[in-house]
Amino acid sequence: MSRITTDIKYSFKETFRDRMNIFWMFIFPIVLFLLFGYIFGGQSDSTTLYYQDNDGSTMSNTFIQSLGSTGALRLKDGSNMDLEKMLKEGKIATYLIIPGNFGQIIQQSGGTSSAGVNMYYDKSKPTSMAVVSVVQQVANGFNMKMSGAHEFITVNSQEAATSGMNYFDFLLPGILAITIMSSAANMSVGTITRLRSIGVFRKLSTTPLSSKEWIASRIITLTVLVILSLAVALFLASLAFDIHPQINVVSLLLVVLGTALFAGFGILVANFVKNEESAMNAVGVITFPLMFVSGTLIPVENMPWFLQYLAKISPLTYLSEGLRSSMITGNTGDAVTDLAIIAVIGIVLFGLGTATFNWKED
């Protein structure tokens, strides 16, 4: 244990002497958060209207086409989505439900009754009420064309209880997840390839310190550094954007296991790509695209369908969603599920990385 403690002290000194380490740990998350926060923070996807057509009649299709023809709304079919849950978690701003008897009521009523559509909205989203207004206007126009007076279609709008999550709230867990990935992967691969190239591993192999003890000390050091980095990001979020996320056991476990996962990935790359520059490039080829296809900066539901499939196999997706559920929306059940997935992937990657690590090779 004393050998591990000694190496941890050395690791901290080595880390803070390297300007690139300081950049990845502390500067990068701040720049990323401010950049995307101020670019996209004033915007929202609330002009996107998700809908479920439970009728599927000619009349309901005509109504949906009328909504799309306004040019004011971006329509997305949410037939296979849990729209109620997505609205509560702040992933969408509004959704529309067309009941199963919509067309039948209109055709058989003879002007004596109305077919209602149900609108659900999150009042915390700036333009959600504008979407409701557009749907109401389309319904009014629809009624005028059909009868000139009678309300064949009524819009029943209901405010839903939601997390009130805005884009900054959504963005913060994604930035934290990116920070964990970038710091753990880049520092792992950079440290191993650099120490190998200058012959440090050859010297360490002659000491009582084993390779497993060295990895243990580095993981402990890296975890502490990541937590410090996240603390800086959280302080910035509370100071600049008035965000106060929940810190709990699940979120801390996600940080620790996420660090181990991407550290294992970095170790694995460093074991097979010996040159430092080539190894860093190899890590970047994988981690950089993951930043944009893992629901960290843009909700997965708003991405093209082929990117949504990539998001499902990205470990960063489950890390960012887990942090978002545990820290922002309070959905502990989903957070624990994401934690379990991260744990399984982390065990595999970290196990492969440590099993193939051998510092006697130069």
Per-run averaged pLDDT (10 residues), the chain, 362 residues: 74 73 74 68 62 89 86 84 82 87 74 75 73 83 65 76 64 86 86 84 80 83 84 77 80 92 90 80 89 83 80 93 85 88 92 79 52
pTM here is 0.70
- Burial class from Cβ neighbours inside 10 Å (0-12, 13-18, 19+) for residue 82 reads exposed
pLDDT at 84: 86
d(CA 295, CA 288): 13
First-to-last alpha carbon distance for the chain, in angstroms, is 27
Taken in order 143, 149, 151, 157, the sign of the CA dihedral is: positive
Element (H, E) at 238: helix 211-241
Helix (H) or strand (E) run with residue 53 in it = strand 48-53
Total H helices, total E strands in the chain: 15, 5
SS3 of residue 150 by DSSP: coil
Residue 151 confidence (pLDDT):
61
Domain positions in the chain? 2-40+166-356, 48-159
CA separation (Å) from 294 to 77, 161, 314, 315? 21, 27, 6, 8
DSSP H/E element including 6: helix 2-17
- Strand locations in 69-188, DSSP E? 74-77, 94-98, 115-121, 153-159
Q: What is the pLDDT of residue 350?
A: 85
CB atoms within 10 A of CB 214: 21
Identify the pLDDT of residue 164: 56
Residue 338 has a pLDDT of 93
- CA nearest to 4, candidates 199, 221, 226: 221
Looking at domain 48-159, its CATH superfamily turns out to be abc type-2 transporter like domain (3.40.1710.10)
Q: How far is CA 249 from the centre of its chain?
A: 19
Q: How many CB atoms lie within 10 A of CB 31?
A: 11
At residue 339, the pLDDT reads: 94
